[in-house]
Structure 1
Amino acid sequence: MPEESRTLDIEGLELAIAKQDAKAFLSASEELHYADLASVFENLDDDERAFFTSNISLDLFPKILAELPDTLIEETLERFDTEAQQNILSQLLDDDRADILQDVGSQARQRYLAMLKPDEQETTRSLMRYDEDTAGGRMTTNAAKIKIGTSVKGALDILREYIDSAESLARIYVVDEEGRLKGKIRLRELAFSDRETPVEQIMQEIDISILATADQEDAAQIFAKYDMTLLPVVDEYDRLLGIITHDDVLEILEEESTEDIEKMSGIAGEQSEETYLNTSIYTHFKRRFPWLLVLALLAISSGYVMLRFEHVLSSIFLLALYLPMVVAAGGNTGGQAAAMVIRAMSLGELESGSTWKVFLKELALGALLGIVLGICIALITTFILPAFAPKIPSNISLANFALAVAVALAAQITTSTLSGALLPIGARAIKLDPAVVAAPAITTLVDISGMVIYFTAARTILSL
């Protein structure tokens, strides 16, 4: 659907809701994707949501429910009677149902589980055993599978049962009597093979799968690295439990990138599924305030450093001109190094034994950056600064002053680059998210170190 047409349909739906026109609402809702309907629902007030849930098709609403933020799940389900709730929960895909039930309160969860059929209960409980951020928490159990020893004809007959329930028929998995994964077949290979051929003769070996307990980010990396269509999820005995699909991976990548961006920006707490405008001010406040307080307290240390070196600054106040530049250069280079290392870690490019290689690489790079930038600033100080007639004590030459600034800048950039690269690796070693130590934390730390380096270099070289 063209974007302009979609926008008009959304406006038509919103107008129908505003006018409480049930017929126009149903007509407009049938033209829109369920993700658009979920976005509209999220932005409605309480009365408008009541109208929405009273008039929406129960065949369509399960898909809408799966797209809603976790904070709206329970209150939205409670707008329906018990029969409608049972209908909605039964129509949900098993992985969506498990995610939704993990988002509601414990009492509601037990009540909703009791509404499900025994087989639905068993599947849902098995998925809820895994954390939401694991491969098992992301997978769907609706994988097309056939047993080894089955003929092509028998396999096609079995697949007819999967037409409505299977998440995808792009890959059909072959398992043994114990459910252990043995191979995979493409549907086209079944379609064009002799009907009496055993499936094991045309199946391909499974070379890539993932444990249900693995982190969801590992699943996304495997998916991207090996250009996969579906990723089979197995237990420790290699029994097929389910599959992860491309739409699951897109959601994982969105969540992980959002989480990293928020942590690198000093935003704490659990990631909100609500849109920015629908997230309450209090929620924004409690996620931002803790880091801001910590960073504010750390920043006081910068002031303490200036107090300790007050005599150096008062001896040659021109040092104040270069102080922001030296400090900022450290924050910038440290942030760059942290971003590159965190990216490499998230893509699986850095193993646990890569620390020494990272150290040597960033040491060389930091030193090169520092020396070149130091020389540039020294040249500017020597040849351009005199045009502004700066006041310098008679016992200090401009060349020595330029040397002090250049040495401090080179040292600051080198140490900051190393800090930015090694802190994320250290965080991972102690089981912390590397993004936590990025941007704000690194910037604050190198601000302090930068002042110490700058004033120490000035005091030593200029004999202050």
Structure 2
Amino acid sequence: MKKTTHVPSNLTKLAKDFQSIDQMMTMLPVLKKMPIIDISEVLSLMENKDLFTVLCEFPISEQGEIFAEFPLVKQLSFFQQISKKRFSKIFEEMPSDARADLFQILTQQEQIDLLPFLNKHIRENVLALSSYPADTAGGIMITDFATVSRDMSCFEAIQKVRQDAPSKKTIYYVYVVGEDQTLVGFITLKDLIIAEPDVLVNDELHTEFVFGYVDESSESVAAKIDKYELVALPILNSKNQLVGIVTHDEAIDVIQAEHTEDMERFMGIISNNEELDYNQTSIFDHFKKRVFWLVTLAIVGIISGLIIHSYEGALAQMMILALYMPMVADTGGNAGSQSATVIIRALALGQVNMKSWFAILWKETRIALMLSICLGVLAFAKVVFLSWETDIPAAYSLVAIGGVIALALSLQVISSTIIGAALPLIVKKVGGDPAVVASPAITTIVDISGLLIYFSIAATFFNLK
């Protein structure tokens, strides 16, 4: 087991500044005491020709672990600049899921060039895992696990675990299978160690267990691991045969990716499946991800301009209304976005469902009423105490104007909250993703409704044209 040490905060910066391979080689004693993930972070900054030299200083088993932590783009560029025979040794030592991820992004010719140098077991394994879609349990599972038979003694089972030699992060569960690899239960490593050597595995067997299927979505599998607080989840095929496991760290990656995708959609950014971070994404790719919603909503936003244009006369008669248009619009947009965020999160976590849509809207309406009273009083006070020097028609008092603006803002908060809650529910009802009801879309819709409410109430109370 690699010794974990404190990582100097400036180590990565120093690695960037090194100009020669000799300087990097002087760091080897320090590097070899660091966790794999930190070694990978430093080495991934190197040029490929120098990287190979430094990587060879580590045991071959660690080379695969270090390489697996590199970004996919770095893995691909390194693969393309090294002999396939030499690369195969590193490739075989990578975790099975990382091997499959890299193999899937290779071109067909690159796959053909690599396969002859892999041993039969690895070749079959990578081809099998690569056949599953990336967004399924099969696409994220690994084959690094231990199995035993129920008729073994605990002593024999421990010997079998040693033979299977699973990694330290997957060894906690030992799966019990039948002759045809059908999963019948599991036993923990703790059970095996504590039990008497001659006790049968069958006597310690846990037959109640949670599992997933290879064609199940990765999000569903990750949710099970999170819900039941599992270290790993067994994955079965259609014959209930154990074909792999999904570990908790893989589940965390899936959940993080899903949250990122939902956030991008909610903010009106068209998401894609590329595993590129901010720095690795080109300016043009950022542009493509953002432009669609913004252009679409800018076009829809013309309606707001038409509404204001139709009430030019009212604004000319009472200019104070123009001063508080932004306040009404912003408050409505914030209320709508808040409501939508709460409902989308509740839907994602399974806290609410479509059967309770009426209860959801009724609850949000009551919340909106309380918010509208609070914000309406604040708006009234702001108009009365901060606008006393503003020119207003002699026929109207500042208190009356403040009351109308407060009423319009209160109604805007109520309508915006209901719209924000209803849109995700409507999208969910028609089979869409609630996250696509992006924040910019809600803001645009609420702006239009808010302007209609604002000017309609003002025109009604003050007989404006």
**TM-score in same-fold range (> 0.5):** yes
Question: Using a 3 Å threshold, how does the CA distance of structure 1 residues 422 and 127 change in structure 2: closer, same or farther?
Answer: farther
Q: Secondary structure at the match of 1:243?
A: strand
- Written as runs of structure 1 = structure 2, the 5 A alignment for 1:401-420 is 401-420=401-420
Question: Using a 3 Å threshold, how does the CA distance of structure 1 residues 403 and 232 change in structure 2: closer, same or farther?
Answer: same
Question: Using a 3 Å threshold, how does the CA distance of structure 1 residues 37 and 265 change in structure 2: closer, same or farther?
Answer: farther
Asked if structure 2 preserves the Cα contact closer than 8 Å seen for 1:412 and 1:453, the reply is yes
Q: Secondary structure at the match of 1:161?
A: helix
Shift of residue 305, structure 1, vs aligned partner:
1.9
Hey, what does 1:198 align to over in structure 2? Answer: 200
Shift of residue 294, structure 1, vs aligned partner:
2.2
Q: Distance in 2 between matches of 1:281 and 1:275?
A: 12
Asked if structure 2 preserves the Cα contact closer than 8 Å seen for 1:336 and 1:420, the reply is yes
- Written as runs of structure 1 = structure 2, the 5 A alignment for 1:53-132 is 53-57=52-56, 59=60, 60-132=62-134
Shift of residue 410, structure 1, vs aligned partner:
1.7
- Written as runs of structure 1 = structure 2, the 5 A alignment for 1:233-382 is 233-270=235-272, 272-381=274-383
Tell which deviates more after alignment, 159-168 or 120-129. 159-168
Structure 1: 5+ residue runs without aligned partners?
Answer: none
Aligned CA-pair RMSD: 2.6
Question: Using a 3 Å threshold, how does the CA distance of structure 1 residues 413 and 12 change in structure 2: closer, same or farther?
Answer: closer
Letter aligned with residue 317 of structure 1: M
Hey, what does 1:461 align to over in structure 2? Answer: 461
Tell which deviates more after alignment, 85-94 or 107-116. 107-116
**Residue 436 of structure 1 pairs with residue 443 of structure 2:** no
Q: Distance in 1 between matches of 2:232 and 2:336?
A: 38
Q: Distance in 1 between matches of 2:377 and 2:9?
A: 56
Q: Distance in 2 between matches of 1:412 and 1:239?
A: 57
Q: Distance in 2 between matches of 1:173 and 1:391?
A: 80
Asked if structure 2 preserves the Cα contact closer than 8 Å seen for 1:272 and 1:279, the reply is no
Hey, what does 1:384 align to over in structure 2? Answer: 385
Question: Using a 3 Å threshold, how does the CA distance of structure 1 residues 447 and 233 change in structure 2: closer, same or farther?
Answer: same
Asked if structure 2 preserves the Cα contact closer than 8 Å seen for 1:334 and 1:443, the reply is yes
Q: Distance in 1 between matches of 2:21 and 2:54?
A: 13
**Residue 217 of structure 1 pairs with residue 216 of structure 2:** no
Shift of residue 442, structure 1, vs aligned partner:
1.3
Q: Distance in 1 between matches of 2:230 and 2:248?
A: 8
Question: Using a 3 Å threshold, how does the CA distance of structure 1 residues 300 and 36 change in structure 2: closer, same or farther?
Answer: farther
Report Cα offsets for 1:275-298 as digits up to 9, x if no partner.
Answer: 433433233222222233223223
**Residue 23 of structure 1 pairs with residue 25 of structure 2:** yes
Report Cα offsets for 1:250-284 as digits up to 9, x if no partner.
Answer: 32233223223322332223255344334332332
Shift of residue 14, structure 1, vs aligned partner:
4.3
Q: Distance in 2 between matches of 1:356 and 1:212?
A: 37
Question: Using a 3 Å threshold, how does the CA distance of structure 1 residues 199 and 352 change in structure 2: closer, same or farther?
Answer: farther
Q: Secondary structure at the match of 2:406?
A: helix
Asked if structure 2 preserves the Cα contact closer than 8 Å seen for 1:264 and 1:438, the reply is yes
Question: Using a 3 Å threshold, how does the CA distance of structure 1 residues 380 and 14 change in structure 2: closer, same or farther?
Answer: closer
Hey, what does 1:445 align to over in structure 2? Answer: 445
Paired residues, number: 458
Tell which deviates more after alignment, 140-149 or 94-103. 140-149
Structure 2: 5+ residue runs without aligned partners?
Answer: none
Letter aligned with residue 197 of structure 2: R
Letter aligned with residue 95 of structure 1: D
Q: State TM-score, norm by structure 2.
A: 0.89
Asked if structure 2 preserves the Cα contact closer than 8 Å seen for 1:400 and 1:461, the reply is no
Tell which deviates more after alignment, 9-18 or 94-103. 9-18
Aligned to 2:174, which of 169, 172, 175?
172
Asked if structure 2 preserves the Cα contact closer than 8 Å seen for 1:329 and 1:413, the reply is yes
Q: Secondary structure at the match of 1:242?
A: strand
Hey, what does 2:9 align to over in structure 1? Answer: 7
Letter aligned with residue 92 of structure 2: S
Q: Distance in 1 between matches of 2:66 and 2:284?
A: 27
Q: Distance in 2 between matches of 1:138 and 1:184?
A: 21
Question: Using a 3 Å threshold, how does the CA distance of structure 1 residues 118 and 427 change in structure 2: closer, same or farther?
Answer: farther
- Written as runs of structure 1 = structure 2, the 5 A alignment for 1:130-145 is 130-145=132-147
Letter aligned with residue 384 of structure 1: F
Shift of residue 303, structure 1, vs aligned partner:
1.4
Q: State TM-score, norm by structure 1.
A: 0.89
Q: Distance in 1 between matches of 2:234 and 2:268?
A: 36
Asked if structure 1 preserves the Cα contact closer than 8 Å seen for 2:145 and 2:166, the reply is no
Question: Using a 3 Å threshold, how does the CA distance of structure 1 residues 438 and 290 change in structure 2: closer, same or farther?
Answer: closer
Question: Using a 3 Å threshold, how does the CA distance of structure 1 residues 157 and 43 change in structure 2: closer, same or farther?
Answer: closer
Shift of residue 147, structure 1, vs aligned partner:
2.6
Q: Secondary structure at the match of 1:149?
A: coil
Report Cα offsets for 1:309-344 as digits up to 9, x if no partner.
Answer: 222222312111111011101111111112212222
Asked if structure 2 preserves the Cα contact closer than 8 Å seen for 1:174 and 1:185, the reply is yes
- Identical positions, percent: 31
Shift of residue 73, structure 1, vs aligned partner:
3.0
Q: Distance in 2 between matches of 1:124 and 1:139?
A: 12
Q: Distance in 2 between matches of 1:287 and 1:193?
A: 57
Question: Using a 3 Å threshold, how does the CA distance of structure 1 residues 111 and 419 change in structure 2: closer, same or farther?
Answer: farther
Report Cα offsets for 1:123-154 as digits up to 9, x if no partner.
Answer: 22322232222222221122222233333233
Letter aligned with residue 344 of structure 1: A
Asked if structure 2 preserves the Cα contact closer than 8 Å seen for 1:370 and 1:409, the reply is yes
Q: Secondary structure at the match of 1:7?
A: coil
Asked if structure 1 preserves the Cα contact closer than 8 Å seen for 2:48 and 2:81, the reply is no
Q: Distance in 2 between matches of 1:251 and 1:17?
A: 34
Q: Secondary structure at the match of 1:184?
A: strand
Tell which deviates more after alignment, 33-42 or 136-145. 33-42
